[in-house]
Amino acid sequence: MNLNENLIKKFGDSFSRNVNLSNYSWFNLGGPAEFFFKPKDKNQLIEFLIAAKKINLKTIILGAGSNTLVRDNGVKGAVIKLGSNFSFTKLVDKEIVEVGAATLDRKVANFAKDNDISNFEFLSCIPGSIGGAVIMNSGCYDDDISKILLSIKVIDINNCIEKEIKYEDIKFLYRGTNLPKNLIIISVKLKGKISNKNKIEKKQIELISKKKLSQPSQIKTCGSTFKNISKEKKAWMLIKDSGCNEFKEGDAMISEKHCNFFLNNGNAKSADIERLINKVKKTVYAKTGVNLELEIKIIGD
């Protein structure tokens, strides 16, 4: 029995091979995952990590794919995507919620609202999962996940052991953290402030409309391509001032509404998006001396 048959036998329909990842990235692009694993629960995830470690199978975790470009040749090794049991919301205390790492940010925002907990409103504007939001320290309009995070539960890929990491032990950066790459977040504890459902709903609606005005929707994108330099010096300004906003590579284009949003206009390849990224980066550097840093993650070969 070969490696694939062994794993298929052990993990059944949670494990598959040659899975098209374009369905799992908001760019709607990218090649296949050599192996794809969707754990049913924590125990199965740990069991899989132990099996993968034994045969030196590389693993990578994907959230909702709203910040990830998958290369055209796909990903070698196993892509792990947490299954529906990792999507849950639970009230722990009157201001504290625990949510599964695969829970969509919007769902977390609504759960907090339904329990009269404020400070989660910004999550209603971010399309990813909570696991991805922690890794990216996602946020908008002066809020980010670090402001409401209490702790995370993770499985360490190196020793396949579960542990809890408290807020104090994480260094949060602008759109990132110092968390090592060998951790899979399985759940997250967040703390807000008791308020009133109607007030919270009003703020959510305000933020969503504000976002709709400044950012495109209904397009194949992963949001901001580059990190802002500062509040005053935004990536989109540098892109526009350097005359890059009409650049295109095949069907990889830049949004007219927000020139830090790169998009797949239908038939782009991931390589087109990467070429566009590099062209913009080079031009902005030549014109302004600023070296733009990627906000989106690129995976694959």
Ligand X SMILES: Cc1cc2nc3c(=O)[nH]c(=O)nc-3n(C[C@H](O)[C@H](O)[C@H](O)COP(=O)(O)OP(=O)(O)OC[C@H]3O[C@@H](n4cnc5c(N)ncnc54)[C@H](O)[C@@H]3O)c2cc1C
Least CB distance from residue 110 to ligand X, whole Å?
A: 16
Name the CA dihedral angle for 94, 132, 65, 297, rounded to a multiple of 10 degrees.
160
The contact pattern for ligand X, residues 251-270, with x = CB under 6 A and - = no contact, is: --------------------
How is residue 261 written in tokens? 């949003």
Which of 61, 112, 244, 253: binder of ligand X (CB under 6 A)? 61
* Three-class secondary structure of residue 47 per DSSP: helix
223 binds ligand X (CB under 6 A): yes
Residue 56: how many other CB atoms lie within 10 Å: 7
| Residue among 14, 25, 224, 242 flagged as catalytic | 224
Active site residue 217: no
Asked if 129 contacts 64 with a C-beta cutoff of 8 angstroms, the reply is: yes
Choose between 141 and 198: whose C-beta lies nearer to ligand X: 141
Least CB distance from residue 278 to ligand X, whole Å?
A: 20
19 binds ligand X (CB under 6 A): no
CA 31 from chain centre, in angstroms, equals: 18
In angstroms, the Cα distances linking 297 to 159, 179, 206 are 25, 15, 29
Least CB distance from residue 65 to ligand X, whole Å?
A: 5
Active site residue 224: yes
The contact pattern for ligand X, residues 115-154, with x = CB under 6 A and - = no contact, is: ----------xxxxx-xxx-xx-xxx--------------
Choose between 68 and 115: whose C-beta lies nearer to ligand X: 68
Cα separation of 86 and 252, whole Å? 33
Choose between 56 and 217: whose C-beta lies nearer to ligand X: 217
Ranges of H-type helices in the chain? 3-11, 42-54, 105-114, 130-136, 197-214, 235-241, 270-288
CA 40 from chain centre, in angstroms, equals: 20
| Residue among 14, 22, 129, 175 flagged as catalytic | 175
Active site residue 275: no
Choose between 115 and 124: whose C-beta lies nearer to ligand X: 124
The contact pattern for ligand X, residues 22-41, with x = CB under 6 A and - = no contact, is: ----x---------------
Choose between 106 and 275: whose C-beta lies nearer to ligand X: 106
CA 171 from chain centre, in angstroms, equals: 18
Alpha-carbon torsion (293, 141, 148, 93), positive or negative = negative
Closest CA to 143 of 91, 207, 227, 206: 207
Residues 6+ apart with CB under 8 A from 41: 83, 85
99 binds ligand X (CB under 6 A): no
Identity of the residue numbered 50? I
67 binds ligand X (CB under 6 A): yes
Choose between 176 and 250: whose C-beta lies nearer to ligand X: 176
Interface with ligand X (CB under 6 A), residue total: 31
Residues marked active site are found at: 175, 224, 295
Footprint of ligand X (CB under 6 A)? 26, 61-68, 82, 101, 125-129, 131-133, 135-136, 138-140, 183-185, 221-223, 297
